A and B are shown apart, each in its own frame.
Chain A
Amino acid sequence: DGGITQSPKYLFRKEGQNVTLSCEQNLNHDAMYWYRQDPGQGLRLIYYSQIVNDFQKGDIAEGYSVSREKKESFPLTVTSAQKNPTAFYLCASTRGSTEAFFGQGTRLTVV
């Protein structure tokens, strides 16, 4: 079955640590996105990539980094510079330009 796979489902980070969230898709979609979801704030765009080896900052990119070395993969690193990383992170990809398909999310908690 085609889809978007995010892993892990739950992730715990200690203060000062970098952590990487995985996002893989087998839909052959060109564009991929990372969103952060906090209660009452909806989805906020962190980074997006339209093609391999190219990506752009979204509205809240500070403290995050990404790479797009393969079409299928768009990992997100939450660095120690991100002061409030506890949130639900969602990866998405788009077919054409209109339909965004989402993964099941990774819940990151700082301990």
Chain B
Amino acid sequence: QKEVEQDPGPLSVPEGAIVSLNCTYSNSAFQYFMWYRQYSRKGPELLMYTYSSGNKEDGRFTAQVDKSSKYISLFIRDSQPSDSATYLCAVLYNFNKFYFGSGTKLNVKP
């Protein structure tokens, strides 16, 4: 079983739509939960991170963690064509090992 499972997509939505990206993880010992955005042929960049169950908001982005069901989500409101990228969820174990999901490719159509 992989440490982090992520829907691969691809996901195609019209501009202005609300996007929901989801991951599940296997180990309740994971401490931090992160979302990265990766544009084609570039390195991932950190969008958000959180360590507790609940929601964390940053502009149009909301990260949600449900530790009881080992489920993490990223919501994008009012999606823009510039949001088109691959989104990677990640978890941190033992403060020194990151595990990444396989990524969901998102395309926001103008």
Contact = CB atoms under 8 A, between A and B. Distances in A.
A9 B101 CA distance: 24
Contacts of B8: 40
B59 interface: no
B78 interface: no
Interface in A1-43: 4, 6, 31, 33, 35, 40-43
A5 B82 CA distance: 24
Contact of A42 (B46, B88, B95): B88
Given A31-B96, A105-B41, A99 B101 contact: no
Contact of B6 (A31, A42, A88, A98): A42
B43 to A, nearest CB: 4
Given A42-B6, A43-B88, A107 B102 contact: no
Contacts of A74: none
Contacts of A92: 43, 98
B102 to A, nearest CB: 4
A48 B92 CA distance: 14
Sorting the interface of chain B by its residue count into under 10, 10 to 19, 20 to 34 or 35 or more gives 20 to 34
Contact of A99 (B4, B42, B49, B96): B49
A63 interface: no
A41 B2 CA distance: 11
Contacts of A67: none
Most buried by B among A50, A98, A99: A98
Interface string B2-26: 0010101000000000000000000
Interface of B: 4, 6, 8, 32, 34, 36, 41-46, 49, 51, 88, 90, 92, 95-98, 100-103
Q: Which 9 pairs, one residue from A and one from B, show the smallest C-beta to C-beta distance?
A: A102-B43, A42-B102, A43-B100, A97-B95, A42-B100, A104-B43, A98-B32, A102-B44, A105-B43
Interface of A: 4, 6, 31, 33, 35, 40-43, 45, 48, 50, 88, 90, 92, 97-105, 107
